[in-house]
Every structure is written in C-alpha cells, then in structure tokens.
C-alpha cells in the first residue's frame, strides 16, 4: 500500500529540499526553447524539465491548462510527461484546479488518483467555491490511494481578494474558513504532515485574509508567487514563520526561462537558495 502523501512529502523534503518546479509550457517559453507551440512541443518541454529536476528537487508541478489547450493530443503529451516523472523519485503535483459537486468530483478523483489512470499524480489542486464538503469524495479518493490534495485558499491573483476576504456567518473570512476546514480534515487521521494541503500565495498578506500561519506547521502549503510574480526566496520565513518547513516553494518562469541548456543548473541553484533560506 502506498504511504500517505504527507509522509512521502516529508521524506522528499528531507532528501531534496522544498523547491517545487513548475512545468508551464507557455507558448512564449516554447519559442524561447526552440520548440513549436504544439502538443509535441509541450511534451518535449515537460520531459526535459522532469529530467533536469530529477535528483535536485522533491516535486514538479505540471500546469494542466498548458497541455489541455492542445486537446486530446495535449492530454496524451501530459500523460507521457507524467509517466516519465513516475519513473523517477520526483513527486508530481497536478495543477488542475478541479472543483465541482457530487459524482462529478468523484470522477475527477478517479481521473487523477486511480492507480490505473494515465493521469495519475501524487497530488492535485482543487477549488472549494461550492464548499469544502463538495470536495469530500475527491479528498477521500486521494487519501485512500496515498495521494494528496491542495485546496485553494488565498491565491496570488489580485482579483481574488474581494471574495477571499469576505466574512462568513461564522466570523471567519472565506479563506480562513477553508483553512479551518482543511485543518479539521487532517487532524483525525494523519500522523506528521497532513495529506490535505492549502494553496497560499507568497504575494498575499495572509494576516489580512485572517489566516494564522502558526496553525499550519504540519499542513502542506503550496506557495506560488516566487520568482516572476515578485516574491523572493528570502521572504519565506517572513511570510510563513513557524509553518515554513511545510511550504512547497513554487517557482516556474524564473527557472524555466534559463532555457533547455540552462534549466538543470537553474533548478540546482534555486533549490540551494531555498535550502539556505530555510536553514
């Protein structure tokens, strides 16, 4: 039986640090890499990033949208990238941001977490606009398979602030309510780091969203916003305090812009910087 995702994430952090390498084949990056803006180009791009990250980072994060844009050929390309990553000791976080209700969400769970699925990943992102309870089947499928879920709570896009800082009847913000639900979901069954995590943007004022990072020491945190979006690795401890040891420090364009000949060294350098900032 596959060990719990939180357990495997802790082990990966111990071996390779906390850098999360995005696999984002933006059309402009494909051009800079000398690749066509096609499914084949996105496949080649992803395979090269997987090769470059292996042994130097704990986890890669393919952005599903950049494959989905090519239709069925794009999904076939993504399946090849995921299969290649599964042959390494990298963990794979599918940035799919799925969110729905009932059996629809259950089917998303089958797609991303079932052992026989070509889209199988170690964890996936999900949204909870319909209420965290709507993700229950998705989370249950992940946990039963030893996989994880990262629920969006406080995202780095400015448009989200109005909704995410709105006040619920409980008195919490929407973002803090999601955090509270994830903490409650993790606490009964997980030892060590939980298998349900949160997406908390590194460019967000978390206190302004009513989020106390001190409660998140054992909750995985996917923190986008480093590099191209403005957050610096030196900001990690200031932003996340006592929860810094649980943060997946996510960087994409700032690493990928090094091109095919420089991406491996860019990953090694970024991973070293993250480790130094957390020492």
Catalytic residue positions? 97
Is the Cβ–Cβ distance between 86 and 47 less than 8 Å?
no
- At 5, give phi and psi (nearest 5°): -60, -45
Is the Cβ–Cβ distance between 179 and 146 less than 8 Å?
no
CA–CA–CA angle 133, 136, 137 (5° rounding): 140
Which of 126, 46, 125, 117 minimizes the C-alpha distance to 88? Answer: 46
Q: Could you tell me which residues are beta bridge partners of residue 124?
A: 94, 149
Q: How far apart are CA 5 and CA 13, in angstroms?
A: 12
Q: How far apart are CA 150 and CA 152, in angstroms?
A: 7
Q: How far apart are CA 270 and CA 94, in angstroms?
A: 21
Q: How far apart are CA 165 and CA 163, in angstroms?
A: 6
- At 226, give phi and psi (nearest 5°): -80, 145
* Residue carrying structure tokens 């992102």: 125
Tally of residues, the chain:
279
């Amino acid at each position: 039986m596959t060990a719990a995702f939180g357990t495997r994430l802790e082990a990966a952090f111990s071996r390779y640090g906390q850098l999360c390498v995005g696999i984002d084949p933006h059309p402009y990056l494909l051009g800079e890499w000398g690749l066509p803006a096609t499914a084949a180009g996105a496949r080649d791009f992803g395979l090269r990033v997987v090769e470059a990250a292996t042994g130097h980072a704990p986890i890669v994060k393919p952005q599903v949208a950049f494959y989905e844009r090519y239709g069925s050929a794009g999904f076939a390309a993504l399946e090849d990238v995921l299969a290649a990553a599964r042959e390494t000791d990298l963990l794979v976080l599918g940035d799919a941001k799925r969110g729905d209700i009932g059996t629809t969400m259950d089917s998303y769970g089958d797609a991303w977490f079932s052992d026989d699925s070509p889209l199988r990943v170690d964890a996936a992102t999900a949204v909870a606009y319909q209420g965290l309870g709507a993700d229950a089947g998705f989370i249950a499928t992940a946990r039963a398979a030893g996989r994880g879920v990262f629920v969006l709570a406080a995202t780095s896009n400015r448009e989200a602030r109005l909704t995410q800082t709105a006040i619920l009847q409980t008195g919490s913000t929407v973002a803090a309510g999601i955090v509270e639900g994830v903490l409650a979901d993790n606490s009964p069954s997980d030892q060590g780091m939980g298998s349900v995590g949160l997406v908390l943007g590194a460019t967000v004022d978390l206190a302004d969203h009513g989020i106390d990072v001190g409660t998140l020491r054992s909750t995985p945190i996917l923190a986008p916003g480093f590099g191209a979006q403005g957050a610096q690795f030196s900001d990690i401890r200031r932003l996340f305090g006592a929860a810094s040891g649980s943060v997946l420090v996510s960087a994409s364009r700032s690493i990928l812009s090094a091109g095919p000949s420089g991406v491996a060294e860019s990953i090694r350098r970024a991973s070293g910087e993250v480790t130094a900032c957390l020492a």
